[in-house]
């Protein structure tokens, strides 16, 4: 024992020296760090323990004077694991950046022991838990620390005042530390996207060197204090999406360096302070979605701003531009002008043409009158022009063709008359044209068919258009929505292009339109009959009186037969129509025009309910429907039927298609409270491979779910209703399996069981990605026996349908599987012990590790 101690004391220095020569601290520290990581993309292959120094390794940078590691930057390497103590061997490390990886767990307090660190970037990982207080106690040299886009929670440590920079986007709660002003060297402060609350600490005014302050999307309250004007170094101030109230402080005018000011989505009152004219460097101003009052201040256009958004306030008065002289140039830099959703009145002034750099002009949802000024055509750079929901009259000026950069033109819900000018074809960049709910007359111009880039929507509904539709419209191959409903159009609906799949709601309300889509066949066109002269014979001679009388009698008989046949056909059509009317499923009276429109953006607010009406709640967007409520559950718009009810397609006023599921389980739902509680929970579940729930409708006798519309159909149709059994390649099938597994994994993470997995509930979007629908609806059925949903309607095992309709029998796949299990014929088809089965998260990882063979190898 004594001998061993002596050997250790005398030989240890020699052993250490030898080790340093073969493997210095930096190499050893990094190799041990690598050993604790998962490196699925082999990004760290160059890290070789036999190297004397690591300076040529990927992601490693050394100080050229000392050959010691100074930077470790492994951003986006797909690494996972933990940050261990071995990195402490990197005694001269100044930058540690591990962002955009998959590191999990809590932040290791050992980071506080790095004495030389200047930058720590752990953003965009899966870190969770509290921020250790130690990390800020000894960080006097630390200049930047970024923990953004993780899953961190809890309060920000009080020791923050010892450090320089912190960037947000986590789940921090509580208040900003009172001594934040102690960070005198702070240049940028970003607490955005958290749940911070309370008032702003007074010490913050000491941050005179801070040039950027962002507190957006939190829960701060109270008035913005006047001392904000003492932060003279501010160039960007973003207080948006909070609960600030009271007037906008005049002291903001003292921020002479300010370039960007965003106070949107708060509860500010009063008028816009004129002191802003002192902010001579201001280029972007956003005070939208507040409660500001007063007239539109004309001095706004003398500041040389590039972006102005005053939308969603209570501004009144006329649009005055008296300050815009022909010699002034300050307004010519304006690119974005949004004055929508106010109470502005009067006409749109013709001097609007002077905004020669304007890219977006939104004057919608005001009380503007008069006609669309012809000078609108001089806006050569404008891409979005929205004058909708006003009281404009007159016609659309032909000069509109001069706005050659237009991508979106919205004039809906006005009193515009006249025809659609053919000059619209000069706006060759248009992707959306919305002219609905006006008094337009005349033909649908052929010129629209020359807008080859139009890909989103053409909406001409609810006008007085007449005539036939140009067949050239079928050339618009990329168009998503074409709506000409409720006009006076007639003739045959064109065949081809988007007309082959156009929903009935987009062409209804035109009684004289015909075509297969409308279930109204067009009258056949026959050549004119050959009229024979009864007084002439085949040889040119005259007919005898007897033969003449015989022909007259035959003509009368033929006419009577024809009339009788016509009457018989008409009666048949009437009878069939009546029978069809009674056979069609009727909607509840409460579903037809008895909606109480409301919104529930945060899935928590509930509107008032009138006992005589239904309750409609949309989680986001407008709740209006293009076709009107009477067409919501139209049989012609039915997409399919499932275990929980039928699904119909409709279109919202903003152009979005929507799928509506009419639930057939009304009698099984306990109460409205249970229904709304569960649907709101499901509405919060978001994932790229899940069908989003957009809203719901409730009456005691009728419940509707509003879902994201997925245009590619179901997996069932692709497997069993395609042209052949091989309509999906193996690569496509693999992608569908992986996406569905990801959807299920996400559901399990949020404690939701699907209960109804089958191929009809796996929808496929335009890009070939699966979207799983009907998840969690079993929560609405507390009265059902829980064993009902144990049946697994899987199509994967043998490629069979969930239910096979044979010649003399019906075969249920789950019964077949159960029988095979009882007879011991399933081999390795399933794992017998549930605990041995991988959870869906593990399934996803297994699938992602599989290397899919090329197409040719599956032949």
Beta strands, E only, 387-441: 408-410, 432-434
Query: Does residue 66 have a pLDDT over 80?
Result: yes
Question: Quick one: which of 263, 300, 259 has its CA closest to 281?
Answer: 259
Average of pLDDT values for 52-78?
91
Is residue 775 within 8 A of residue 752, CB to CB? The reply is: yes
Is residue 663 within 8 A of residue 644, CB to CB? The reply is: yes
Is residue 210 within 8 A of residue 187, CB to CB? The reply is: yes
Query: Does residue 162 have a pLDDT over 50?
Result: yes
Answer with the residue of higher pLDDT: 232 or 585: 232
For 646, counting Cβ atoms within 10 Å of its Cβ (0-12 exposed, 13-18 middle, 19+ buried), the class is: middle
User: What is the band of 364 on the pLDDT scale with cuts at 50, 70, 90?
Assistant: very high
Report the relative pairing of strands 95-97 and 119-121 from DSSP bridges.
parallel
Average of pLDDT values for 24-52?
89
Average of pLDDT values for 730-736?
85
User: Can you name the CATH fold of 18-174?
Assistant: 3.80.10
Determine which helix (DSSP H) or strand (DSSP E) holds 556, and give its type and residue range. helix 545-583
- ∠ CA(518), CA(523), CA(528), 5° rounding? 165
Q: What is the pLDDT of residue 138?
A: 64
Q: Tokens in use for 297? A: 């201040």
Q: Kindly state the greatest CA–CA separation across the chain.
A: 151
Residue spans of alpha helices (H) in 337-455: none
Q: What is the pLDDT of residue 632?
A: 61
Answer with the residue of higher pLDDT: 625 or 345: 345
Query: Does residue 366 have a pLDDT over 90?
Result: yes
Answer with the residue of higher pLDDT: 242 or 702: 242
* φ and ψ of 347, to 5 deg: -95, 160
SS3 annotation, 176-204: CCCCHHHCCCCCEEECCCCEEEECCCHHH
Query: Does residue 508 have a pLDDT over 80?
Result: yes
Choose from 106-110, 312-316, 761-765, 774-778 the range with maximum mean pLDDT: 312-316
Query: Does residue 305 have a pLDDT over 70?
Result: yes
DSSP three-state, residue 625: strand
Q: What is the pLDDT of residue 786?
A: 39
User: What is the band of 785 on the pLDDT scale with cuts at 50, 70, 90?
Assistant: very low
Q: What is the pLDDT of residue 337?
A: 93
For 565, counting Cβ atoms within 10 Å of its Cβ (0-12 exposed, 13-18 middle, 19+ buried), the class is: exposed
Cα 481 from chain centroid (whole Å): 17
Average of pLDDT values for 27-44?
90
Beta strands, E only, 312-412: 336-338, 360-362, 384-386, 408-410
Interatomic CA distance for residues 679 and 683, integer angstroms: 6
Q: Tokens in use for 259? A: 């370039």
635 labeled part of a ligand binding site: no
Beta-carbon count within 10 A of 855 CB: 10
Query: Does residue 18 have a pLDDT over 50?
Result: no
563, 569, 574, 579: CA torsion to nearest 10: 160
Query: Does residue 158 have a pLDDT over 80?
Result: no
Q: Tokens in use for 431? A: 């992707």
Is residue 52 within 8 A of residue 27, CB to CB? The reply is: yes
Beta-carbon count within 10 A of 576 CB: 10
Average of pLDDT values for 759-779?
85
DSSP assignment of 691-737 equals: PPEEEEEEETTEEEEEEE--TT-BHHHHHHSSSSTTSS-HHHHHHHH
- Condensed to tens digits (0 to 9), the pLDDT of residues 510-558 reads 988 988 777 777 875 444 443 334 343 344 344 445 444 544 544 454 4
Question: Quick one: which of 700, 736, 705, 694 has its CA closest to 718?
Answer: 736
Q: Tokens in use for 667? A: 């009698």
Give the Å distances, CA to CA, from 182 to 56, 161, 445: 40, 5, 68
Crossing angle of the two packed helices 730-749 and 840-849, in degrees rounded to 10: 150
Q: What is the pLDDT of residue 765?
A: 87
Q: Tokens in use for 626? A: 């293009």
Q: Tokens in use for 33? A: 């760090």
Domain boundaries, the chain: 18-174, 590-790+827-858
Choose from 363-377, 634-648, 845-859 the range with maximum mean pLDDT: 363-377
Query: How high is the mean pLDDT of the chain?
Result: 77
User: Can you name the CATH fold of 590-790+827-858?
Assistant: Phosphorylase Kinase; domain 1 (3.30.200)
Q: What is the pLDDT of residue 534?
A: 39
Answer with the residue of higher pLDDT: 730 or 407: 407
Interatomic CA distance for residues 584 and 831, integer angstroms: 47
* φ and ψ of 812, to 5 deg: -95, 125
- ∠ CA(658), CA(664), CA(666), 5° rounding? 110
User: What is the band of 365 on the pLDDT scale with cuts at 50, 70, 90?
Assistant: very high
Average of pLDDT values for 835-848?
78
Question: Quick one: which of 591, 660, 655, 630 has its CA closest to 508?
Answer: 630
Residues 6+ apart with CB under 8 A from 750: 685
Question: Quick one: which of 462, 496, 464 has its CA closest to 479?
Answer: 496
Is residue 149 within 8 A of residue 127, CB to CB? The reply is: no
Q: Tokens in use for 458? A: 């053409």
Q: Exposure pattern of 248-276 as b/e (b: 16+ CB <10 Å)?
A: bbebbbbbeebbbbbbbbbebeeebbebb
DSSP three-state, residue 803: strand
Q: Which residue has the tokens 């008065």?
A: 317
Beta-carbon count within 10 A of 654 CB: 11
Q: What is the pLDDT of residue 118?
A: 82
Query: Does residue 579 have a pLDDT over 50?
Result: no
Interatomic CA distance for residues 438 and 387, integer angstroms: 12
- Condensed to tens digits (0 to 9), the pLDDT of residues 476-498 reads 888 889 999 999 999 988 888 88
Question: Quick one: which of 741, 756, 833 has its CA closest to 791?
Answer: 756
Interatomic CA distance for residues 316 and 295, integer angstroms: 5
Answer with the residue of higher pLDDT: 25 or 307: 307
Is residue 806 within 8 A of residue 812, CB to CB? The reply is: no
Is residue 648 within 8 A of residue 639, CB to CB? The reply is: yes
Query: Does residue 13 have a pLDDT over 50?
Result: no
Is residue 224 within 8 A of residue 249, CB to CB? The reply is: yes
Interatomic CA distance for residues 343 and 430, integer angstroms: 29
Average of pLDDT values for 299-303?
83
- List the single range of 135-149, 286-300, 463-477, 498-512 with lowest mean pLDDT: 135-149
Q: What is the pLDDT of residue 613?
A: 58
Q: What is the pLDDT of residue 330?
A: 59
Residues 6+ apart with CB under 8 A from 561: none
Is residue 382 within 8 A of residue 359, CB to CB? The reply is: yes
* φ and ψ of 458, to 5 deg: -120, 115
Interatomic CA distance for residues 777 and 705, integer angstroms: 10
SS3 annotation, 256-321: CCCCEEECCCCEEECCCCHHHHHCCCCCEEECCCCCCCCECCHHHHHCCCCEEECCCCCCECECCC
Q: What is the pLDDT of residue 609?
A: 39
Q: Tokens in use for 523? A: 């009258």
Interatomic CA distance for residues 522 and 516, integer angstroms: 9
User: What is the band of 342 on the pLDDT scale with cuts at 50, 70, 90?
Assistant: very high
Percentage of the residues of the chain whose pLDDT score is greater than 90: 34
Q: Tokens in use for 601? A: 């953006």
Strands of 104-105's sheet, edge to edge? 104-105, 126-129, 151-155, 171-174, 195-198, 219-223, 243-247, 267-269
- Condensed to tens digits (0 to 9), the pLDDT of residues 385-434 reads 999 999 999 999 999 999 999 999 999 999 999 999 999 999 989 999 99
Q: Which residues pair with 483 in a beta bridge?
A: 459
Q: What is the pLDDT of residue 757?
A: 84
Q: Which residues pair with 119 in a beta bridge?
A: 95, 144
Query: Does residue 566 have a pLDDT over 80?
Result: no
């Amino acid at each position: 024992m004594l001998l061993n101690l002596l050997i250790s004391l005398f030989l240890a220095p020699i052993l250490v020296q030898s080790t340093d020569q073969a493997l210095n601290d930096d190499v050893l520290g990094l190799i041990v760090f690598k050993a604790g990581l998962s490196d699925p993309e082999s990004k760290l292959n160059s890290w070789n323990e036999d190297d004397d120094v690591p300076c040529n390794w990927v992601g490693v940078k050394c100080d050229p004077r000392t050959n010691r590691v100074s930077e470790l930057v492994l951003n986006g390497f797909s690494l996972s694991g933990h940050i261990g103590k071995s990195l402490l061997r990197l005694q001269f490390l100044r930058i540690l950046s591990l962002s955009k990886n998959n590191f999990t767990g809590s932040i290791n307090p050992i980071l506080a022991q790095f004495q030389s660190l200047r930058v720590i970037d752990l953003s965009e990982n899966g870190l969770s838990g509290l921020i250790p207080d130690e990390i800020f106690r000894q960080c006097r040299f630390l200049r930047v620390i970024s923990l953004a886009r993780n899953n961190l929670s809890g309060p920000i440590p009080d020791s923050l005042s010892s450090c320089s920079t912190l960037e947000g986007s986590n789940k921090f709660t509580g208040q900003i530390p009172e001594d934040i002003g102690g960070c005198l060297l702070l240049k940028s402060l970003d607490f955005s996207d958290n749940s911070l609350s309370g008032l702003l600490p007074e010490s913050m005014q000491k941050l005179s060197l801070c040039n950027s302050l962002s507190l957006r999307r939190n829960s701060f309250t109270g008035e913005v204090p006047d001392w904000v004007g003492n932060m003279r170094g501010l160039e960007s101030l973003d207080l948006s999406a909070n609960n600030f109230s009271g007037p906008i402080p005049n002291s903001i005018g003292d921020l002479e360096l300010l370039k960007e000011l965003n106070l949107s989505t708060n509860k500010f009152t009063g008028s816009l302070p004129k002191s802003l004219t002192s902010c001579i460097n201001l280029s972007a101003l956003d005070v939208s979605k507040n409660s500001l009052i007063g007239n539109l201040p004309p001095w706004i256009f003398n500041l040389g701003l590039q972006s102005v958004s005053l939308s969603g306030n209570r501004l009144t008065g006329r649009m005055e531009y008296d300050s815009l002289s022909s010699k002034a140039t300050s307004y010519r830099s304006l690119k974005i002008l949004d004055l929508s959703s106010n109470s502005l009145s009067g006409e749109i002034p013709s001097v609007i043409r002077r905004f020669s750099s304007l890219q977006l002009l939104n004057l919608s949802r005001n009380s503007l009158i008069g006609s669309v000024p012809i000078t609108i055509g001089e806006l050569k750079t404008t891409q979005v022009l929205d004058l909708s929901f006003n009281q404009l009259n007159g016609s659309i000026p032909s000069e509109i063709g001069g706005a050659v950069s237009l991508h979106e033109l919205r004039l809906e819900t006005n009193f515009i008359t006249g025809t659609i000018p053919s000059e619209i074809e000069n706006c060759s960049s248009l992707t959306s044209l919305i002219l609905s709910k006006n008094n337009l007359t005349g033909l649908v111009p052929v010129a629209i068919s020359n807008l080859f880039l139009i890909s989103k929507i053409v909406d001409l509904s609810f006008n007085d258009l007449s005539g036939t539709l140009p067949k050239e419209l079928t050339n618009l191959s990329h168009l998503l929505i074409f709506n000409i409903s409720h006009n006076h159009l007639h003739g045959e609906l064109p065949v081809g292009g988007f007309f082959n799949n156009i929903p009935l709601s987009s062409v209804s309300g035109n009684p004289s339109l015909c075509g297969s889509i409308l279930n109204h066949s067009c009258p056949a066109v026959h050549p004119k009959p050959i009229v024979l002269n009864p007084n002439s014979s085949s040889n040119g001679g005259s007919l005898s009186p007897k033969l003449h009388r015989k022909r007259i009698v035959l003509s009368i008989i033929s006419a009577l037969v024809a009339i009788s046949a016509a009457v018989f056909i008409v009666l048949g059509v009437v009878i069939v129509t009546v029978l069809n009317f009674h056979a069609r499923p009727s909607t509840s009276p409460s579903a037809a025009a008895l909606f109480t429109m409301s919104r529930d953006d945060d899935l928590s607010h509930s509107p008032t309910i009138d006992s005589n009406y239904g309750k409609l709640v949309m989680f986001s967007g407008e709740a209006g429907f293009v076709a009107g409520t009477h067409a919501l559950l139209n049989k012609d718009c039915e997409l399919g039927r499932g275990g929980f009810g039928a699904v119909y397609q409709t279109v919202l006023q903003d152009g979005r298609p929507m799928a509506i599921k009419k639930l057939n389980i009304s009698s099984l739902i306990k109460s409205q409270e249970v229904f709304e509680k569960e649907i709101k929970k499901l509405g919060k579940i978001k994932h790229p491979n899940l069908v989003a729930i957009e809203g719901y409708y409730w009456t005691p006798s009728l419940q509707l779910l509003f879902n994201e519309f997925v245009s590619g159909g179901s997996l069932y149709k692709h497997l069993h209703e395609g042209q052949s059994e091989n309509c999906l390649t193996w690569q496509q099938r693999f992608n569908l399996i992986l996406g569905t597994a990801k959807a299920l994994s996400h559901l399990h993470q949020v404690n939701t069981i699907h209960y109804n997995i089958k191929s009809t509930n796996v929808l496929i979007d335009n890009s070939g990605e699966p979207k799983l629908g009907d998840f969690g609806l079993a929560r609405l059925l507390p009265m059902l026996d829980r064993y009902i949903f144990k049946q697994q309607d899987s199509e994967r095992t043998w490629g069979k349908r969930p239910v096979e309709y044979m010649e003399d029998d019906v075969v249920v796949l789950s019964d077949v599987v159960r029988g095979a299990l009882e007879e011991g014929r399933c081999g390795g088809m399933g794992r017998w012990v549930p605990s041995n089965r991988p959870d869906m998260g593990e399934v996803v990882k297994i699938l992602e590790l599989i290397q899919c063979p090329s197409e040719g190898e599956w032949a």
